[in-house]
Amino acid sequence: MHNSKLKSIYLSLLVAFIFLLFPWSGLALKLRPDFMLLVIIFWLLRAPNQCNVGTAWFVGLCVDLATGGTFGQYALAYTVTAFFAVIYQRRLVLFNATQQLVYVFLLLLISQIVLLILKTFAGTESPDWGYFLPSLTGTLLWQIAVTLGLNTGRLSRGS
Amino acid sequence: MVRGFHQNLEQQQAPAFFARGPSPFARLVFFAALSLALMATDSRLKYLTTVRENLMVLLHPLQVIANSPSRLYNYAGEYFSTHHYLLNENERLKKQSLQQQITLQRLKTLTLENANLRDLLQANKSMTERSTLGEIVHVGRDSFSKKVVVNRGSNHQIIAGAAVVDATGVIGQVTRTYPSSSEVTLITDKSLAIPVQLERNGLRAIAFGHGRDNTLDLPYLPANVDIKRGDKLVTSGIDGIYPVGLAVATVAEIKSTPDSPFARIVCVPTGGIENHRQVLLVSIPQTEIPVNEEKSAVDKKKPAKPANSQPARQGASTPARPQQPVEQAVVNTANKPPVNVTSKPHAQ
């Protein structure tokens, strides 16, 4: 059972990575949700024994490689996000659907804010509010996945 | 008995529910420190360049997989394109080819004539640049920087610093090369500057990318500068990277604010930064040491070439053998002594 879970973790991360590598451009690029972060948040909440802050860091490093930015930017953003995801993971079973959605939105926002701070230090100019759109689309994607029957750990009290 | 029980308890492992290793906070501190160290190493020292290149090789198959749906879509689109459309396109291309042939012939005679004149004057030989046709694979994934990735890399003798042009003008510069792809920073990126010249009066300036909305800025020009809306900017070539006379941008807006001695000039790039797929990578010209300094100053009379971007079209006609770069002569004043820069009487 452990093995199959690990396998599905790797597989889902790989699929998310290929999604990230799609040739996005224009509006789609602006709206593109952070697939990798969504998958890692899902597994952090669903399988905290297999996935931890370190996993998120490694995934962030892969994203850094794909985006071609400075190494460590996404890694740090994902690490911080994963930390907040993990410390509230046990409380999550008490959350209802809406609360969970807000929680995921906040997590996505945290990663974007960390990234924004890092980029500001690196000297890029501050983007407009459209920068935070991927958090919204990410939350939307999460909701779609939940509606389609993905168990996001809310009912995992018994398992 | 009790002691035995205690020992038993100590030997017992914590139940799986609590077995989580170091606390999340400890992990956070550790990995955050690691990330910060990585960032510092990557931005200040150059150790990670080779690591990145090697990892990109591993990434390449995934990239191919990710690109396949859009490629399939394009292929299907081409396959089902209508007869009418193809006829139209054929006609248009024929017309274009004819027009270009005429200019090309003129260019050939002019090049010959120029070479002869240079021989007569014993001036520096004009430089030749090698160029390679590439295709944009995908747009950069970082929303903070304007970058594209092109499917030609160090395997095709592309080196960082090469200029990237398309049929309508300069679009950027290669900033990072991987074995089979390279990263091109567009001229609209905030970190890229390009030396330009006004086509109308030869005024030199440096255009900086604006970063956000696909425009270029011309900072550090006085408020009373002779510049008008619609003026064309071409590369000046004094940087030794871009060939002379390629179209860069058109002046779109000039604002002079009373609190600043400088005019705020916004330009729109001419090159199809967001919509072309084929680009030409022009290698950095070999810098020669000027043999005869005063002789080369004769060139300053040469007017800026019209922005018809000959090299882009010339190279684009031979996509069949990209690994054998198209040799072409582009007149470049890059190896002129700096005297030449200031000796333009009408520069200011």
pLDDT band of residue B337 (cuts 50, 70, 90) is very low
Q: For chain A, give the number of residues.
A: 159
Give yes or no for residue A71 having a pLDDT over 60.
yes
Measured between alpha carbons, how far is B131 from B283 in angstroms, rounded to an integer? 6
User: Nearest CA to CA, how far is B76 from chain A (Å)?
Assistant: 17
| CA–CA min distance B274, chain A (Å) | 8
Percent of chain B predicted with pLDDT > 70 = 72
Q: Which residues pair with B183 in a beta bridge?
A: B149, B176
Asked whether the beta carbons of B27 and A54 are under 8 A apart, the reply is yes
The alpha carbon of residue B139 is apart from the nearest alpha carbon of chain A, in Å, by 6
- Mean pLDDT over B283-289 rounds to 62
Residue A84 forms contact with B (CB below 8 Å): no
Determine the distance in angstroms separating the CA of A63 from the nearest CA of chain B, rounded to an integer.
10
Among candidates A17, A72, A128 on the partner chain, residue whose Cβ is nearest the Cβ of B35: A72
Contact (CB, 8 A) for B189 and B146: yes
C-alpha to C-alpha distance for B122 and B23, rounded to whole angstroms: 75
Q: CA torsion B193→B198→B276→B324, rounded to 10°?
A: -80
Q: What is the pLDDT of residue B334?
A: 40
Residues 137-196, chain B, touching A (beta carbon < 8 A)? 137-145, 147, 149, 176, 183, 190
Question: A117 to chain B: which residues are within 8 Å by CB?
Answer: none
B15 at interface of A, judged by CB pairs closer than 8 A: no
- Residues from chain A contacting residue B212 (CB–CB below 8 Å): 125, 127-128
Query: Could you give the CA distance from residue B79 to residue B75 in angstroms, rounded to a whole number?
Result: 6
Residues B187 and B170 sit within 8 Å (Cβ to Cβ): yes
B119 pLDDT higher than 80: no
| Residue B70, pLDDT score | 81
pLDDT at A108: 94
What pLDDT is attached to residue B242? 82
**How far is B325 from B130, CA to CA, in rounded Å?**
6
Distance, in angstroms, between B170 CA and closest chain A CA? 20
C-alpha pair distances (Å), B291 with each of A10, B45, B337:
62, 37, 10
Contact B140, B148 (CB under 8 A): yes
Task: Report the range of poorest mean pLDDT among B70-74, B263-267, B339-343.
Answer: B339-343
SS (H, E, C) chain B: CHHHHHHHHHHCCCCCCCCCCCCHHHHHHHHHHHHHHHHHHHHHCCCHHHHHHHHHHHHHHHHHHHHHHHHHHHHHHHHCCCHHHHHHHHHHHHHHHHHHHHHHHHHHHHHHHHHHHHHHHCCCCCCEEEEEEEEEEEECCCCCCCEEEECCCHHHCCCCCCEEEECCEEEEEEEEECCCCEEEEECCCCCCEEEEEECCCCCEEEEEECCCCCCEECCCCECCCCCCCCCEEEECCCCCCCCCCCEEEEEEEEEECCCCCEEEEEEEECCCCCCCCEEEEECCCCCCCCCCHHHHHHHHHCCCCCCCCHHHHHHHCCCCCCCCCEEEECCCCCCCCCHHHHCCCCCC
Exposed, middle or buried by CB within 10 Å (0-12, 13-18, 19+), for B160? middle
- Mutation target among A22, A31, A64, A74 for the B interface, most CBs of B within 10 A: A22
A22 interfacial to chain B (CB closer than 8 Å)? yes
> CB B66 to CB A18 under 8 A?
yes
Confidence of residue B124 (pLDDT cuts 50, 70, 90): low
pLDDT at B69: 85
At B7, the pLDDT band (50, 70, 90 cuts) reads low
**Amino acid letter for position B216:** L
- Residues from chain B contacting residue A24 (CB–CB below 8 Å): 138-139, 141
pLDDT at residue A7 greater than cutoff 80: yes
Rounded to an integer, the average pLDDT of B276-286 is 78
At residue A88's C-alpha, the angle toward residues A84 and A93, to 5°, is 145
- The domains of chain B are located at 130-293+300-342
Q: Residue A42 pLDDT more than 70?
A: yes
A130: closest chain B residue by CA: B143
Closest residue in A to B35 (Cα) is A72
Q: Check A83 against B27: CB less than 8 A apart.
A: yes
In A, which residues are within 8 Å of B28 by CB distance? 53, 79-80, 82-83
> CA–CA separation, A112 vs A138, rounded Å?
12
Neighbouring residues of B128: CB distance < 8 A, sequence distance ≥ 6:
B285, B327, B328, B329, B330
Closest CA to B173 of B150, B196, B201: B150
Which of A21, A27, A81 is the best substitution to test chain B (most B C-beta atoms within 10 A)?
Answer: A21
B183 SS3 class: strand
Q: Tell me, yes or no, if A145 comes closer than 8 A to chain B by beta carbon.
A: no
Beta-carbon separation of B38 and A48 below 8 A: no
Show Cβ contacts of residue B49 under 8 Å, excluding neighbours closer than 6 positions. none
The mean pLDDT of B202-217, rounded to a whole number, is 84
- Tell me whether residue B55 is exposed, middle or buried, using C-beta atoms within 10 angstroms of its C-beta: 0 to 12, 13 to 18, 19 or more: middle
Residue of A nearest to B54 (CA): A65
B71: nearest CA partner in chain A: A23
B34 and A83 within 8 Å at the Cβ level: the answer is no
Residue B283's contacts (CB-CB under 8 Å, 6 or more residues apart) are B129, B130, B131, B132, B157, B158, B159, B162, B325
Alpha-carbon distances of B104 from B67, B100, B200, rounded to whole Å: 36, 6, 23
Complex-level ipTM: 0.83
CA separation, residue B197 to residues B206, B234, B236, B238, B305 (Å) = 8, 5, 5, 10, 11
Please, which residues 263-282 of chain B have a Cβ atom closer than 8 Å to chain A? 274
Contacts of A70 in chain B (CB under 8 A): 39, 42-43
**CB nearest to A72's CB, from B24, B36, B66:** B36
pLDDT band, very low/low/confident/very high, at B86 (cuts 50, 70, 90): confident
Average pLDDT for B94-119: 86
For the stretch B154-198, pLDDT in tens is 888 888 888 888 878 888 899 888 888 888 988 888 888 889 998
Rounded percentage of chain A residues whose pLDDT exceeds 90: 33
Could you confirm whether domain B130-293+300-342 is CATH 2.60.120.1060? no
A72·B142 Cβ contact <8 A = no
pLDDT category of residue A156 using cuts at 50, 70 and 90:
very low
Residue A94 is classified by DSSP as G
The most confident of A136-140, B13-17, B68-72, by mean pLDDT: A136-140
Say whether pLDDT at B228 is over 50: yes
In this prediction, residue B293 has a pLDDT band, given cuts at 50, 70 and 90, of: very low
**A53 Cβ under 8 Å from any chain B Cβ:** yes
- For B24, which residue in chain A has the nearest alpha carbon? A83
Confidence tier at A110 by pLDDT (50, 70, 90) = very high
Give the CB-side neighbour count of residue B241, counting CA atoms within 13 A.
19
